[in-house]
Structure 1
Amino acid sequence: MIKRLALSLTLVAVTALPALSQDLSEERIKELALEAILENPQIVMDAVAILRERDAAAQAATAAETLETQRALLEQDENAPVLGNPDGDVTVIEFFDYNCPYCRRAKPVIEGLLAADDSVRIVFREFPILGDASVFASRAALAAREQGLYEELHWGLMGLSGRITEAAVMTVAEEVGIDTAQLRTDMESAAVSEHIETSMSLAQSLGITGTPSFVVGDTILPGLVDEARLIDLVGQARSDG
């Protein structure tokens, strides 16, 4: 960012002195840029704003392209857990981390949506970005699919309070009836690793940097969303076909 800003400020100086720039050395151009900044510090803020606008526009374009070209992976990935109606006509994708307090607050929102709409399907993208314990929890949840208990472990982990630990994950796993020895083995499977890697890749392409984040149709929603808003977006996506 600093190098880009310096380059932008140098370009400002060159642009401001078109008649002279061809005859000036690079060192002199830098001196003129510094002089311009000292005389008018607002130049720095303007340059930062320009860079941010360009970055935002580029990210928006990348996200739109991802929604178009990776739609099948986002909505129909066989290696992603699905709740609700597996044949539903609208898909809601949630990127989440078990250690994220806002993701836990999204639990009743998702449950409310599923209760209100029997034609919606929820695709869960495990997105463990808050430390090793989050990675452990995600691996455990994904591995629980081998015992048919992903949903039970997912809701159990989302119902915890405070910082999740490996011990807490295994306690919840035992409570929902999971063979924890088998779970630890399954946690190291290629399918588990692939799901998390795909989540990271998709999040980067979509510009998702925090949790929870939702994708509904062509809308990307960062942060916690209330049930009414989510229901509205599902309705909009259904109307859009």
Structure 2
Amino acid sequence: MMTKINLIDIGSVGGFDIPWSFNTDKIEYSLSFEPNDQPILNSKNLRYNSAIWNFDGEANFYVSGHNGTGSSLLKQNFTWVNNNFDAIKNNGNKKLNQSWFERSKITNEFKCQVKKLDTVLSEIHAAIGEDIKFHFLKSDTQSGEYYVLEGAENFLKTDCLGLELELYRYPLYENIILEQEVKDYLRSLGFFVAGWTGYKNSFESQADYLFLKKEAKNQEEQNIIDLIKEVYKPQRGGIIKHRSLLQKVTAKLKMNLK
């Protein structure tokens, strides 16, 4: 029987990102979040109508960037970037770096519902009458990963076997928790860094990291951990989402445009 995984996708826009977009046959249940849409709790592609954070209530959501790509529950940190621009302006794409200030202007601000992931999982269990155990968390919230994890402590200590998180080494957002503190927190819960993309985007400020549980409790958990490794295929230096996979994505997009 083929091993399948139940996946939580926070910050998904337009469906699964790579590498899961090429491995949907390995996903049994998925849970995504869209605060402005109606929830879907009657299929294997579950959708919940709130943002995920470290408390239950309301928070300000700040829209910025092209098509909202820089939007976050945290504000962009103009003060820090201004004060440190000369030190980081030559990292990566210089043209992209020069446009950071313009792209980071807030174009809209509104209140949205936020909930802890632990709260959401308990509510879904009550709503559908089935205790679905999720194994993997992918989170790309533009700076808020630590706050997501703070509200998911029960999940991290029980069912979670792996995570993909976008973490920052520079404080491009106000009150952001930087990558080393997030790594230390997950290490204390029994996870280790199994791969990363290398630094990318403006100022080469952030990277996607793959974390895996160090020790499986049983063979079933080990099979799921092995499945995650198979999907991400860390290469030399632990690199995930490597160039050949990105080329595959580009080729697929070109085919769709024909």
Provide the TM-score with structure 2 as the length reference.
Answer: 0.25
Q: Which has the higher strand share?
A: 2
Provide the TM-score with structure 1 as the length reference.
Answer: 0.26
Higher relative contact order (CA 8 A, sep 6+): 1
